[in-house]
Structures are given as structure tokens and as C-alpha cells.
Chains A and B, each alone.
Chain A
Amino acid sequence: MGLGRCLAVGLVGLEGHLVEVEADVASGLPAFTLVGLPDASLVEARDRVRAASANAGCPLPARRITVNLSPAALPKTGTGFDLAVAAALLAAAGQVDPRSVASRVHLGELGLDGRVRGIRGVLPAVMAAVRSGHCRFVVPRENLAEARLVPGAEVVAVRSLGDAVALHRGDPLPDHDACDPPAEPARGPDASPAVQDRGPDLADVVGQAEARAALEVAAAGSHHLLMVGPPGAGKTMLAARLPGLLPDLDDAQALEVTAIHSVAGTLDPSAGLVRRPPFEDPHHTATVVALVGGGSGLPRPGAASRAHRGVLFLDEAAEFDPRALDALRQPLEQGLLVIHRSLGSARFPARFQLVLAANPCPCGHGAGKGRDCTCSPTARRRYLSRLSGPLLDRVDLQVEVLAVSRAEMASAVAPESSDRVAARVRMAREAQRERLRGTPWACNGEVPGAWLREALRLPVGITRDVDVALDRGRISIRGYDRVLRTAWTVADLAGRDSPDRDDVGRALLLRHRSQAAA
């Protein structure tokens, strides 16, 4: 009978690999063999493809069918190969034009009735195929908007296998609005909606002037933040408002973030590219795998990767499994997670801003003077020590959030709104970009200490307070670097070219919870 070829994309983590699907229909007893390292869900493609073809009106021939997914050494998983297998088979059986089939990359899952269902990870798959020079796609209708986000991709959407057959026979598609109108070029990233929801507003938070200032500094310099305080002080409210202060993602970042959420299955395709920094707040019972990603076979992204270019908020941080927290050290250092599993390793970007909130002690009332605290001194000491030193070492800002007093609540000053703070943050980010031009970093939070001390060396008069703190052993050399980083951000927010002595002093205050040692 014949041979049919078609292209598909296999995802390993966020990396797409072009997969050639070859189908051979030979004379012999009817059989359907699928080779080329498919996993269990992919082997099921045989039965879906057989039923879908029959119900789409072009049954598979009763012959010996062999389908190979090449490169055979690459582990393949999931249901996204169904459409490619069906197309290659129908080409091999002579039902459709083999050249038309071979010229396109097919992505999609088949239902038994011949319907084509949407799949996860279309964006990274299309990006990978375009990078390797294959720009023509057939995708499920649900994924059309997502596939079109990639510049240069020529996309046809199908609702059913019947549509795909019509396409490859050169017949008009039964559903005209589903096909790519030639007048409209593939939409670039610019065409996505510019305004996406900024989330809750900072104006809702009463009082907490210090914590708000710390939040602003955190947003401006992309510093990690720890808030310690009694329950009900507003730590969670403050953290949830951080993404609203951050600037929009640029094109490259937006593509990265959208790709991660596409693979994680948390993407709303109708909203276009993700332009706002994501916010992830896993529950404190989260496991290591839930935080950093994993799963059997091939790894999937976890909360840390879903928070890429956004905020990872760990509420009740001291209640987290210490191993889960320590697993965050690699992404905090490198902005990248490499997860190894039996079938291979996957790399997920994970450059997030970490926000930790914790009670000062098990009962939660040990903050400030701690008069209501019922915990024993040992319990109090042990509680926050669960946040390991190496993790806290990477947190530039550590502030105490005290309960709001009645005087603060009654004060006539209306709290500032997110918009106004975000405007200042934008200007501070601009200043940082200007200063860090030509370096691999974009904001103060990413700058390593050595570079701070060398290239951005400050005069002795300005760093006197922090020098003294170092001499007296109150802060470590790493703590010294963090103070300098924060000082630069404070100066950027104030519109100064470089920090003065006050900025350094403020930075010193922002890194120390009042009584706990960091």
C-alpha cells in the first residue's frame, strides 16, 4: 500500500523536539504496531486513531500497520501525537495527499468520534518547530489563538479529523472561520491584549506604612521578602498585592511565562500572552515535587516554575516541609530548575521573586513586645529556625509586620493605590536598567555582591553604618552585600543617582527583623 509521513513535536520540559511520524501500511494480517519509545498514554493512540478514522468516514485499511515515531530514542508522552499519527496513516493508505500531510506539523488529540481536542504545551511546541524551520501547522481549534502567538507560524485549525482530511485533499474546510484567513497575518505578541487584570489594589491595606515601603522596595529591585508578624496583620494581603506593583513582562519574558503555563495546563488561551507577572501561593503542605516540579516519567513544572517572572508566595513559611523550602535554593541561585527523572531531565526556568510570610512563633502572638504569646522560649526559638539559614541568606528584605493599631486605622490618610506605587516602581526599574546596561542583570535583586562592591563601590562615608555593623559582627559579608543591593533600590526609588547615607541606613533597617537574628 504505502508509506506516509507527517511531523509532530515532542516536549521534554519546555523544550520541543521535532518528531517525524512514519506510517507504513503493508499487506499482512491486520495489526497496528506503534514503535519509537511511546509511553502508555501514547500507545492508546492506536485505539483512538482507529476509532476516530472509522467515525470520520475514512476507516483504516485492514492491513498490517506500523507507525514509527522518530527519533526513536527520544521518549514521547501524551496524547498530542494522535492527529499526526492519523494523518500519516491516511496518507499511507492513499486517502489524502501525502505531500500535503508531510508539509505540516500536526498537533492534537483525537476523540473516538473523530473530534480533535486541544492539548497542553502548544505554544512551546510551535515555537520549537518554527525554530527548526517548519512553519506550517495543523492544530486543534481550541489551541488556535495560542499557536498564533508565535511569529511566523502559519496555522490551520481543525475541529475534527474530517476537517484535516478535507484540508489534505484540497477540499474547502467545512468550517470556514476555523481556517487561517490569508488577509490576517499570524498575530505577533504585540496583538495580545495590553491590559490584563492587575489583581487586588494596595489601597485596601490599612496602615502598615513600613511593610508597604518594604513591599515597594521589593517590587522595585526584585528583592526577595520575608514578613514576620502575628495573624491578621495583613501579611497575606500585602503579598497578594505585590504582582500588581510589578511592571508588565516584555515580549521575551511573556513568551517564556506563557509557554510554562501552557505546559502546566494553567493557561487561558483566549487571553493571549501572559503579560502580567504570575502569582503562585502553594499551600504549606506542598511537597518538594509540587513546588519545584516533577512527576513520574517526564517532569512537569511546579509552583516555582509557574511563578517564573512573577511572585512565589509561601504563606506560613515556617510550616512548610524544610526539604521543600531548601529545594528552592537552586532556582533562587540560578533562576532555573533542572529536574531528573527516569526518562530524562527537563529544564524549567524559575526566576521568581520569593515572598515568605511567617508567624513569629507557633501561637502567632510573639511579635513586637510579645505580651500575649503563650509559647515557651524553646518553641519560639525553634519555630523560625525551621526557615533554614541558607534560604534566609538569599532574602534581602526581612521585615516585621505588626498588628494594626486603632490609631493607624483611624488615621485620615487614605492609603496609596497600587497605580501610584507601580509608577514609582517603573521609574526605579528604568534607572536600574540604565545602570545595568551591558550586564546580564536587569534589576538590583539579581546583581551579585562582588560586582556591587567593585563596579558600584560607594565612598566610605556613605557605607559607614554598614561597615560598623560588619565590624561588630552584627551582619555577615553576605548580609553586607544585601544591604548594599537594597540601598541601591532605595536610592532608585527616591530618584537619586546613587545611595546616600540615609538610604544605606534604611536598607540596614529593612533587612533586620527587629529581634530575630538572620
Chain B
Amino acid sequence: MPATKSVRAAVGEFGERVAAEHLRADGMEVIGARWRCRQGEIDLIAVDDGCLVVCEVKTRRSLAAGSPLEAVTPVKLDRLRRLAAAWLAGQERSFAEVRIDVVAVFLPQRGRAQVEHLRAVV
């Protein structure tokens, strides 16, 4: 049964919360979420030891359409890079490094959410 819009949004939001927890548990400082501009949206913004981490979160409840990671296309990665620049342009703080990460969250029918974190994918 196709998920309604609100259900999909709720799943995405839940996945982003799980991902943010995961980043914090990894010792990163999450400094922003769901930052929007005209070009799109950054799911999570974090700082990892002085390095800015622009993070894309992909949440799936089933693997029928493949791994969540496979949904991150080169076009999407390009957009993330532009979004990172757009976000940085509005900041006073500067960062030595910028990195783009992808967090895949798989929510099985039962049991805990499974998280896979890929660093520096570009």
C-alpha cells in the first residue's frame, strides 16, 4: 500500500532523529537540521572536530527498492555540495574542512532501526 504523504514525512522525520542520535553518539555536534533554501534542503548539519559535516539522511522501511544508499544519486550529491556552499555563505563561522556524509536508516517491521554511516562520500 503506498504510504500517504504524512506517513512518509513522519518516517523521514523519525529517520532524521535516529541519524542525529547516531552522529551525537559518534561524538559530533549537531548544529542544524532541515535547513532550507531555494535550492533544496540539508537534512543534518554537524561539526566533527572542526570539520563541517553536511549530512544527507535516507530512511527506508523496506529494501524492495534497494538499499537506501542506492537512492543517493550523483545529481543529489552535486546538489548537496551546492547547498553546503549556500549554507556556509550565510555563516560567520568558518571551517577548516567541509565533508558530505550519508546516513542510511533502515526501519525494519520489528526491532531496532539499523543505521549505516558513510563518511566523505564525495
Which residues in A have some Cβ–Cβ distance to B below 8 Å?
Answer: 27-30, 62
Cα separation A47 to B69 with both chains bound (whole Å)? 18
A30–B70 CB distance below 8 A: yes
Residues on A with C-beta less than 8 A from B121 are: 28-29
Task: State the main secondary structure of chain B at its contact with A.
Answer: mixed
Residues on A with C-beta less than 8 A from B66 are: 30, 62
A-B contact pairs, 7 of them (CB 8 A): A28-B121, A29-B72, A29-B102, A29-B121, A30-B66, A30-B69, A62-B69
Residues on B with C-beta less than 8 A from A29 are: 69, 72, 77, 102, 118, 121
Residues on B with C-beta less than 8 A from A30 are: 66-67, 69-70
CB distance from A60 to the nearest CB of B (A): 11
Task: State the main secondary structure of chain A at its contact with B.
Answer: loop
Given contacts A28-B121, A29-B121, 15 further A-B contacts (CB under 8 A): A27-B118, A28-B118, A29-B69, A29-B72, A29-B77, A29-B102, A29-B118, A30-B66, A30-B67, A30-B69, A30-B70, A62-B66, A62-B67, A62-B69, A62-B70
Cα separation A27 to B67 with both chains bound (whole Å)? 13
Residues on B with C-beta less than 8 A from A62 are: 66-67, 69-70
Cα separation A62 to B118 with both chains bound (whole Å)? 12
Cα separation A27 to B119 with both chains bound (whole Å)? 9
Q: Which 8 A-B pairs have the closest CB atoms?
A: A62-B67, A30-B70, A29-B121, A30-B69, A62-B69, A29-B72, A62-B70, A29-B69
8 Å CB interface, B63-116 against A: 66-67, 69-70, 72, 77, 102
Cα separation A29 to B74 with both chains bound (whole Å)? 10
Cα separation A27 to B69 with both chains bound (whole Å)? 11
Kindly report which residue of chain B lies nearest to residue A27, judged by CB atoms.
Answer: B118
Kindly report which residue of chain A lies nearest to residue B63, judged by CB atoms.
Answer: A62
Cα separation A30 to B72 with both chains bound (whole Å)? 8
Cα separation A320 to B66 with both chains bound (whole Å)? 58
CB distance from A93 to the nearest CB of B (A): 14
Cα separation A27 to B118 with both chains bound (whole Å)? 8
Residues on A with C-beta less than 8 A from B72 are: 29
CB distance from B44 to the nearest CB of A (A): 17
CB distance from A26 to the nearest CB of B (A): 11
Kindly report which residue of chain A lies nearest to residue B122, judged by CB atoms.
Answer: A29
CB distance from B67 to the nearest CB of A (A): 4
Cα separation A162 to B67 with both chains bound (whole Å)? 23
Kindly report which residue of chain A lies nearest to residue B76, judged by CB atoms.
Answer: A29
CB distance from B16 to the nearest CB of A (A): 19
CB distance from B8 to the nearest CB of A (A): 22
Kindly report which residue of chain B lies nearest to residue A29, judged by CB atoms.
Answer: B121
Cα separation A29 to B76 with both chains bound (whole Å)? 12
Cα separation A141 to B96 with both chains bound (whole Å)? 59
Cα separation A27 to B77 with both chains bound (whole Å)? 16
Kindly report which residue of chain B lies nearest to residue A61, judged by CB atoms.
Answer: B67
Residues on A with C-beta less than 8 A from B69 are: 29-30, 62
CB distance from A428 to the nearest CB of B (A): 71
Kindly report which residue of chain A lies nearest to residue B66, judged by CB atoms.
Answer: A62
CB distance from B11 to the nearest CB of A (A): 20
CB distance from B105 to the nearest CB of A (A): 14
Cα separation A28 to B118 with both chains bound (whole Å)? 6
Cα separation A62 to B69 with both chains bound (whole Å)? 7
CB distance from B2 to the nearest CB of A (A): 24
